[in-house]
Amino acid sequence: MTPIQECLINKSTKVNPVWLMRQAGRYLPEFREIRRSNPDFIKLCLNHTLAEEITLQPIKRFGFDAAIIFSDILMVPYGIGQTVKFKKNFGPSLGTIDLNKIQSVSEDKFTENLLPVYKLLSNLKNTKDLETRDLIGFVGAPWTLLVYMINKVSPKNGLSQDFFKDKILINEILNLLDRFIKIHIENQIKAGATIIQIFDSWAGLIKEDFDKFLYDPTLSLVNYVKNLGVPVICFPRGITDYVRFTKIVKPSMINIDYNVDPEHLIKSLDIPIQGGLDPKILLSNKENLNNQIRKYLEIFKDHPYVFNLGHGILPETEVDMVYELVETVRDYK
């Protein structure tokens, strides 16, 4: 059993597994080298040979306890036929929704569109580098994908004023997403994913209708993953009530963001916890980094805990700081 499975399934507190969200990405010089000659991000995600190399880069460097596939949550909108592009220094840009078009996409066509992602997983599951590690597949939660699909760009500055205007469109997309996210999950598990993580990156934008946008759609996915016999991690970034979320949704493990008070949270949760460290701490100095890491490890020393960040690792992070992070976690007793 892998270290993370020990934590997830056996609720073990004897080990401190560690991996980082976005560990395969822009902070690594070897990734930047590949990216320079592959400017189309979607095409890069669909190049299973390069995606495999990128997925394994942080494992070979740092020996993390899990590999998370190099892909993107927006592969689902892409798979159902919405245009998805990534612009340098801007982020994702999605095309206009043609509801009739995306509703006519078959399950087979969707799977065909994303076949390189599943090929990536099937190739990775047999590599020696992952013999004692987990292989994490992932999806975006329905709310977050809905936000991108209708907003068409990252909602860093909030949602467009008419976001909620077309309620029929919202309901149709949510139904469509539930169906195709589940197909994407099942295909990843069949191909070799040992854990599924659900990223609700913009959950903090939900101000009302929590059942409709947060709890019900995520619970539907969590139950689906569990029925396939695989643990599921939820990361509802930015919500204010992680306790209520976990009681309703019941994931195998909850990933907390860096605005959460871990000491307060641990008193109220009995499921395994992951994450929490502010990625900006990695931009400070080693002494501060060590102190912050030990704070989390000390708080969770008697609770099943996987060390991770409270959001993805930042592109400007120095490699030496990641080495320091891994060493500090490994050395903690």
Residue 325 — φ and ψ, nearest 5°? -60, -50
- pLDDT category at 83 given cuts 50, 70, 90 is very high
pLDDT of residue 157: 74
pLDDT of residue 90: 84
Asked if the model's pLDDT at residue 333 lies above 90, the reply is no
- 54-71 pLDDT, tens digit each: 999 999 999 999 999 999
Asked if the model's pLDDT at residue 100 lies above 80, the reply is yes
pLDDT of residue 52: 98
- Give the DSSP letter string of 271-283: S-EEE-B-GGGGG
pLDDT of residue 161: 86
Asked if the model's pLDDT at residue 151 lies above 90, the reply is yes
Type of residue found at 58: P
The mean pLDDT value of the chain amounts to 96
- pLDDT category at 283 given cuts 50, 70, 90 is very high
Of 41-45, 50-54, 86-90, 317-321, which range is least confident? Answer: 86-90
216-219 contact pairs (CB < 8 A, 24+) = 217/141, 217/142, 217/143, 217/174, 217/177, 217/178, 218/141, 218/142, 218/143, 218/249, 219/248, 219/249, 219/250
Asked if the model's pLDDT at residue 271 lies above 80, the reply is yes
Range of the domain at 287: 3-331
pLDDT of residue 88: 81
pLDDT of residue 11: 92
Name the token pair of 99: 């509801």
pLDDT of residue 87: 87
The answer to whether the predicted template modeling score (pTM) of the entire model surpasses 0.85 is yes
User: CA-CA distance, 234 to 246, in Å (whole number)?
Assistant: 9
**How many degrees, rounded to 5, is the angle at CA 255 between CA 250 and CA 261?**
105
CATH assignment of the domain containing 212: 3.20.20.210
275: left (phi over 0), alpha (psi -120 to 50) or beta: left
pLDDT of residue 101: 93
- The average pLDDT across 276-291 equals 98
User: CA-CA distance, 237 to 293, in Å (whole number)?
Assistant: 20
Asked if the model's pLDDT at residue 29 lies above 90, the reply is yes
- pLDDT category at 254 given cuts 50, 70, 90 is very high
In the chain, the number of structural domains is 1
Asked if the model's pLDDT at residue 263 lies above 80, the reply is yes
- The average pLDDT across 35-43 equals 96
Look-up: residue for tokens 């190399």? 53
pLDDT of residue 89: 78
CA 227, 233, 235, 241 torsion-angle sign: positive
- 187-196 pLDDT, tens digit each: 999 999 999 9
- 126-140 pLDDT, tens digit each: 899 999 999 999 999
pLDDT of residue 158: 78
